[in-house]
Amino acid sequence: IENLILPENIKTAWDSSKLWSNAVSTADKRGDFFIGANAFLGNKLTTLELPEGVLYVGGSAFKSNALTTVKFPKTILQICNQSFAGNAIVSLAFDATTDFPLQIDMGAFGFNRIQAVQLPSNLEKLDKNTFLKNTNAEGTVIKTKVYIDADYSQIELRVLAHMSEDEHMIQA
């Protein structure tokens, strides 16, 4: 598979009082399109724009393709283990916030070429190995710079400092 067109705006009615965490959402509909584990594993996709309505991307769903750019919808809730690992991704595009708190699992974007990424401000989970072994153009392993624009309390800042291993944040 070299090109992929997914159905758009697959959503269902949503009662925000049924949130499973303390998160707040003003969404009255949520995405209702799940991409299962290994769904597009080992194809020849080069770019991917997931349409509104995609809620979940299963483990290894797009692993080992030739992806260089991926755009995520506001409806995305979870990106599972190694969903996009083993590509050549240099660019990830997220909205400033997502409809619900976003969770990104271990190795989801491992073994790519991502040097920096701006994640949604309502990110709830980011595994410390999400961007494991990203390399630059010369093949040298680099640390991906992760930016989150948010107003965090002190405990969340300490967790962020620990996960990012940023010496300035740890000392502050």
Q: What is the token pair recorded at 98?
A: 């997502």
Q: Rounded to whole angstroms, how far apart are CA atoms 59 and 36?
A: 7
Distances (CA, A) of 107 to 62, 104, 141, 155, 166: 12, 9, 14, 25, 20
Please state the rounded mean pLDDT for residues 17-27.
Answer: 56
What type of residue is 98?
T
Secondary structure percentages of the chain, helix, strand, coil, to 5: 10, 25, 65
pLDDT digits over 74-114, tens only? 999 999 999 999 999 999 999 999 988 899 999 999 999 99
Mean pLDDT of 155-166: 68
* pTM for the predicted model, two decimal places: 0.80
Please spell the DSSP secondary structure of 68-120, one letter per residue: -EEE--TT--EE-TTTTTTS---EEE--SS-SS-EEE-TTTT-SS---EEEEP
Closest C-alpha among 45, 31, 139, 47 to residue 91: 47
